Amino acid sequence: MQQLLSVQDLEVSFANRRVLRQVSFSLAPGETLGIVGESGSGKSVTALAIMGLLSWPGRVTGGQILWHDDDLLSLPPDAHRRLRGSAMAMIFQEPMTCLNPVYTVGQQIAEVLMLHRGMNKREAAEAAAAYLAQVGIAEPKARLRNFPHELSGGMRQRVMIAMALAGEPELLIADEPTTALDVTVQAQILDLLQRLQAETGMAMILITHDLGLVAENAARGIVMYAGEVVETGGVDELFVSPAHPYTQGLLRSLPRWGEQRDVLYSIPGTVPRNLETIPGCAFADRCPVATEACQEPQIMRQVGPAQTARCWAAKAKQPILEGGAAECQPPTK
């Protein structure tokens, strides 16, 4: 099956500082991919690079982003722009500030319709109301005339989703779509996204720091750390038998029902700021199984039928839940 999106060895720099290194993954049509990582891991930058929204001083300095076999990076800016909002759409974390305060909700949705679907004002207004209904907003026609500040956070996020849908995208990138919302609303929004995916057949990239969200909503996941992809795989494999020590650490940090601990486990150390100074694995200084071999640049290794990890020590392991640790083997040279 032809991949919808294929990112290959993407490298992004801010001024002269690399923030993304060797990022590769692919996405099939209709698939949901979760990108997991903490702040600073590079997940948002990846999304912005795909959309072509990296703003100065950030720029892509290497790699390819293939959309239906076209490299987005070698397209003229105008061609990439035409894909934005139509073939690929993105919603962001803070619905408070993501909508223009001086225009009505209806105007902002209609804008997409008039630009990408060639509708006139009247058609756009009707279609906008239909999209508002589709995202679960009551009294859509009345809501068209509301300004963003007149709506609640959850409603604003729905409006963002409607705006994204209006272009009939093949891919929706959702960057922490629920982080700024109440817990109850979070669930509603995620259900909505799943339903819309089923209805429209669009693929989705769900970016989050919340492992639970990925486990419930995505089919495959990639784990990012300090600007690199450290592990990829189906969610089942990732969460049941993670291969990379970082992923393992993340899962171990989650408190579990029935568990008895005095101290919550947390990965010691902090995320490195500057990739430039680290020749090898970015996680080495915090890794429980690090050796000198980790100073060498690491490559992605196949550790399972659909699972890869960027670590010489990685092997598909016994499930973490049973307290198994990664088996360490010296690198075969």
Partner 1 sequence: MPSFMSRLRQHRLAAAGAVVLLVLVAAALFAPWLAPHDPEEVHPEAGLRGPSWQYPLGQDPLGRCILSRILYGARVSLSVGFLAGVISLAVGVVMGSLAGYFGGWVALVVMRLAEVFMTVPQFLLIIAAVAIVGPSFTSVLVIIGLSSWTGYARVLRGEIMSIKQQPFVEAARAYGASDWRILVHHVLPNCLSPLIVMVTLNVASAILLESSLSFLGFGIQEPQASWGSILSQGRSFFQSAPHVATFPGLAIMLAVLAFNLLGDGLRDALDPKLVEQGE
Partner 2 sequence: MFRYIMRRILLAIPLILGISFLVFGLMYLAPGDPVRMLAGREASPEVIADIRQEWGFDKPFVVQYFMWLGKVLRGDMGRSVISGLPVSYLIKARLPYTLKLNFWATLLGLAIAFPLGVLAAARRQTWVDYTASALALVGMSMPSFWLSLVLIIVFAVKLNWLPTSGTGTWAHYVLPAAALGFSWAAGLMRMVRTSLLEVLKEDYVRTARAKGLREKIVLVKHALRNAMIPIVTVLGTWLAYMVVGTVIVETIFAWPGLGRLLTTALLQHDFFLVQAIILMISVAVVGANLLVDVLYAVIDPRVRLG
Residues contributing to the site for partner 2 (CB under 8 A): 51, 53, 55, 81-86, 89-90, 92, 94, 97-102, 111-112, 115-116, 147, 149, 160, 163, 167
Q: Is 63 in the site for partner 1 (CB under 8 A)?
A: no
Which whole-number Å values give the CA distances from 207 to 26, 249, 289, 309, in the listed order? 15, 19, 28, 19
Q: Is 34 in the site for partner 1 (CB under 8 A)?
A: no
The DSSP line for 220-237 is: EEEEEETTEEEEEEEHHH
Please identify, among the stretches 37-45, 75-83, 241-249, 253-261, the one whose residues bind partner 1 according to the rule CB under 8 A.
Answer: 37-45
CB of 41 to partner 1, least distance (A): 8
Nearest residue to 185 via CA among 209, 151, 146: 151
* Among partner 1, partner 2, none, residue 58 binds (CB under 5-8 Å by kind): partner 1
Please identify, among the stretches 40-48, 67-75, 84-92, 184-192, the one whose residues bind partner 1 according to the rule CB under 8 A.
Answer: 40-48
Which whole-number Å values give the CA distances from 31 to 4, 69, 264, in the listed order? 9, 17, 34
Distance CA 71, CA 264 (A): 45
**Could you tell me how many residues make up the chain?**
333
Please identify, among the stretches 12-20, 126-134, 142-150, 182-190, the one whose residues bind partner 1 according to the rule CB under 8 A.
Answer: 12-20
Nearest residue to 303 via CA among 329, 280, 271: 329
CB of 40 to partner 1, least distance (A): 6
Q: Is 12 in the site for partner 1 (CB under 8 A)?
A: yes
Please identify, among the stretches 39-47, 82-90, 137-145, 294-302, the one whose residues bind partner 1 according to the rule CB under 8 A.
Answer: 39-47
Nearest residue to 248 via CA among 185, 319, 195: 319
Interface residues toward partner 1, by CB under 8 A: 12, 14-16, 19, 39-45, 56-58
